Chain A
């Protein structure tokens, strides 16, 4: 079983609609969860991070965390063509002092104009 799983896509969403990206993780004690966006040929850039159960909103982005279900998601409202990219879910483990992130394989998102 992979430690962090994402649907590889591609996920196609019409412009203006809501894009929903999902991620599950295996380490129940994981503490911190991150969403990165990666454009083709570029390095990842941080979109959002979340530590507590529930929703966290930042502009058009909402991260949702459910630790009981070991599930974290990213919603993108009013999707724009510039949102087309690969979205990486990353999880920091439970061990104190261990700063390593485990990445999912990413979901490729395409926003259709």
Chain B
């Protein structure tokens, strides 16, 4: 159980393109999902917490207008990188925690490798 699906798994696109990444919890509902970014040889850095039916909470230094998050249902959150540039190239990973159960761990999607040319 607790499967999180992330799509697409990799994206290569030109500078200035907007890219949408989907994160789905397949066998559980998640009121909260999390978006991380990981640069090579570094640890995961939390970008934002996605809350179903409300605005996302962004970490300090993360531009909310550049990284648009929508959490329209209990099983789907999307991250849109708007007008992506080469410095946005990274490994983006989402996670979700089962709804209503305290202290349950976060389960991660397989990640999206984004390369901006």
A, B co-complexed: yes
List residues of chain A with CB under 8 Å of any chain B CB. Answer: 31-32, 34, 36, 41-46, 49, 51, 88, 92, 99-101, 103-106
Give 13 A-B contacts (CB < 8 Å), ordered by A residue. Answer: A42-B110, A43-B93, A43-B108, A43-B110, A45-B108, A46-B107, A49-B103, A51-B103, A88-B44, A99-B97, A100-B46, A103-B43, A103-B44
Known pairs A43-B109, A46-B105; list 14 more (Cβ under 8 Å): A32-B103, A34-B105, A41-B113, A42-B111, A43-B108, A43-B110, A44-B44, A46-B106, A46-B107, A49-B103, A99-B49, A101-B34, A101-B46, A103-B43
- Point out the residue from B6, B106, B111 that lies within 8 Å of A101, measured CB to CB: B106
Please name the 6 residue pairs, one residue from A and one from B, whose CB atoms are nearest each other, closest first: A43-B111, A105-B43, A43-B108, A43-B93, A103-B44, A103-B43
Report yes or no: A44 in contact with B103, Cβ–Cβ below 8 A. no
A99 x B111 contact (CB < 8 A): no
Question: How many residues of B sit at the interface, in one of the four size bands?
Answer: 20 to 34
Cα(A101)–Cα(B108), bound, Å: 12
A101 to B, closest residue via Cβ: B106
B78 within 8 A of partner (CB): no
Q: How far is the CA of A105 from the CA of B49 in the complex (A)?
A: 20
Q: Complex formed: what's the CA distance from A32 to B103 in Å?
A: 7
Contact between A49 and B105 (Cβ–Cβ < 8 Å)? yes
Residues of chain A within 8 A (CB-CB) of B54 are none
A contact residues around B60 at 8 Å (CB): none
- The verdict on B32 contacting chain A, using a C-beta distance below 8 Å, is yes
CB nearest to A44 among chain B residues: B108
Least Cβ distance of A7 to chain B in Å?
A: 13
Instruction: Report A6 CB to chain B, min CB distance, Å.
Output: 9
Contacts of B44 in A (CB 8 A): 44, 88, 103
